[in-house]
Structure 1
Amino acid sequence: MTRVGSELIPRAASATGLDTSVVENWIGNYKRSQMTNASSEPRPSKAKVHIRELSPYNLFCRDIFKNKGTMNDIKGRWATLGEDSKQEYIQEAAALRAHGQAQDLSPEIRDAQIKMHLKKLKLEVSKLEDLGVETAILSFDHKKSSLEVFELSSKGATDFLDSTDTVNNFALHFKASSSAATPSTREHVSVLVGKVKDLFNQKYKEAGGTGRLPYQSLVNQGLTIKVSGLPNSLTLKKPSFYGRNQLVGILQAADDITFEIGK
């Protein structure tokens, strides 16, 4: 058998009195061990955001582990714990919950909790829809700079929202309440929103659509519309989601805006 490799291998075999195959195996094992050591170096882990509240039982387990206890020490002890001791854990858990209210949460934990609750709402809306119940949920986050409305609804409720001004009115209400602008300025924004809404409905009809522009269908990707002419690389969305300057820019570019409904 012909071997291809370093000239040092035969020399090493001769010097050690070992067969060349043994030397090659040793070199191979060494290289593999080096690769394993390199790949086993600890990688920086992302910090986890814990959002679940601690229960009295969790606090009881914490104290057991602090005293170097094990899971075997926990089994059955909570059930036999005295009522006074249980009350101490119950009060501590309540105090932690009170301290961890929204105003005390970090931005990361707050966002995580919002996502968790919205996910639960989505599941509940789906379950209600299976039972024949139409549901619409609108939410507005006062701490977000985008001032957008989150919409979660069943199919029938989505059709209703698309055919009315409910979402726009909801957004305008909270935009007004979160703005330091004067009443006349807030009214001006609502007028701009109405004009852009009428413009989009007109462009939608010119492209062959019927009725009002179904914004939720765009979100759900049930409808595709190619838009040209929107200023500053804006994307098509509900008019109430645009800022004042964006609304003004859209109206100024009205003649250049065209819709093309996807097939």
Structure 2
Amino acid sequence: MADRYPLSEDQKKTLIRFYEEGMQSKGKTCASFHLQAQKATNLPLDVVLNWISNYKRSQRKGDSPRVGIASSDIPGGPGPLKKGRFLSIPNAYNVHVAEFLKSENALALPTTKEKYSAAAEKWRSMSEEEKANCKERIGEYSKSKEVTWPKIQKVMRQMNSGAQSLSDAAGVETVTLHFHKGEVFTGGSERGVQYLKEHPVVELSFTSYFYEKSAEEELPESTQRATSKKLVEQVKNIFQQKYAISTGHIGDVPYDSEDIVVNLKGLPTNIEFKRPSLYGVRQLQTIISNKSKFEMHVRSVHTALREHNYQQPGAVETQD
């Protein structure tokens, strides 16, 4: 019987490799993988198919954590983490099969199994140059495979679930940041999500970076305003913190005061100190990323003028 067929360690490793590369079904969509695995292991086809069912069953029982990443063994963890396949990543072989199934040779074959078998046989006989040509057409092939928003949402949920599984299984904490058409979606393990809440600059920097990269996509005006507003608030808080450190008082920075002069040292070149609402998105992002370098000095106008005059050649300091 197939389920009692003895497998060597090398055969098991080979089957697992094919499984991680996509051989996760006994159906016709994986027929080419079945044939390759059969040839690589010298096992009967029914043994290969039966192994797939048994291996999938062992994963569902929790023999190893089912997380959506590829990883090596983690110290202290329960064992190797299996590679999840959220979205199938096309390769040269996928391109070859898709093109072969449209050929006259494939259309002349009566069954789907024979078509995929012929595609696999054709692939094995192809030269490296021919395979390289298939690889160059991956981009065109990918464009024909539309990824819908519901599928994107499903993948993000799987990633968050995988992050929590990884945290529970091995104590590894994760954060996820997704940028899609001007909007940012966050997630990760519970502690990772808490980290994002306590460090909003991480999300803001991520948002502003991809916001600028995708400017040519004509993002919705509401999204542009929301992103800019978040960055302005963050810079405003930074300036208020530096003001409080300098003066010992908590409150708004007197940007337009006629009696007080505020000087912020450490600003990047070509960025002047002014109200946060007057900066552009790129300047706001730069200020946020350099906040640790800032030092604010607050003085009265009289003191500032006296220091300025004293520094002039031949100037004499006057008494108050």
Query: Which structure exhibits the higher relative contact order, with contacts defined as CA atoms closer than 8 Å and separated by 6 or more residues?
Result: 1
Question: Scaled by the length of structure 2, what TM-score is found?
Answer: 0.31
Question: Scaled by the length of structure 1, what TM-score is found?
Answer: 0.37
Highest Rg: 1 or 2? 1
